[in-house]
Amino acid sequence: MVNALGLIRRFMMIIGPVRSIYDFLTFGVMLWIFHAGPELFRAGWFIESLATQTLVIFVIRTRRVPFTRSRPSLTLTVAALGAVAVGAVLPLSPLRHRLEFGHLPAGFFAALAAMVVTYLVLVESAKHLFQRIEPVAPREVPPSTRPQRVQRRASKWSVGVPLDESVPAHAKANAASSSATARGRRRSARARTARRPRR
């Protein structure tokens, strides 16, 4: 658990600066290109932050490069795209007055699309770099012990049942001992039957 938290912390140290770059880029676009006042600036920053921080889920949810090689679930896709769509519509709806959002020009959405695409590309590149620096060892799956348990139980009631080579030595010894005990009991029972006088 500690190693996993450290891995996440180091990953965020790489992704965090990329996020900060696009915050400053949004400020520059809104102030220097669209000459935005407080309401227009608030609306633009809201949509840009929502779009980039929601769509980046598709990049960081998988280790595959590019992320398009891993298909997300339908629920995740609908939820993410729906959240972005609602956020994009809010500054254009009557609710913008209550939220104190300005009416965004069409050129902003072209700039937004360019920022989202380049942001996802940079995060994908940062993820690829991180994987080269911090390779994650594949998780070892312990072998199933069910076949061994079945063989040990079957050996108590069978004679000369071959055990798989993967069974540990102590399990083989226990199975052989159980089998020998069963054979001894059967021989004793036959001997008692043979000594019993016939009537």
Walk along the chain (199 residues) and give the pLDDT tens digit of each residue.
546 677 777 778 878 888 889 989 999 999 999 999 999 999 999 999 999 999 999 988 888 878 888 888 999 999 999 999 999 999 888 888 888 899 888 899 999 999 999 999 999 988 888 888 776 555 555 555 556 666 666 666 665 545 454 455 555 566 566 666 767 676 766 666 666 555 5
Shared domain for 83 and 161, answered yes or no, is no
Distance CA 116, CA 165 (A): 56
Does residue 42 form part of some domain? yes
Predicted confidence at residue 115, as pLDDT, reads: 94
Predicted confidence at residue 108, as pLDDT, reads: 92
Query: In angstroms, what CA-CA distances link 122 with 11, 109, 130, 155?
Result: 14, 20, 12, 61
Shared domain for 151 and 84, answered yes or no, is no
Predicted confidence at residue 158, as pLDDT, reads: 60
Q: Which helix (H) or strand (E) holds 5?
A: helix 2-28
Does residue 104 form part of some domain? yes
Residue with token string 């809010």:
90
Does residue 34 form part of some domain? yes
Measured in degrees and rounded to the nearest 5, phi and psi for residue 101 equal -100, 140
Predicted confidence at residue 191, as pLDDT, reads: 66
**Number of domains making up the chain:** 2
Provide the domain limits for residue 150: 146-195
Shared domain for 52 and 122, answered yes or no, is yes
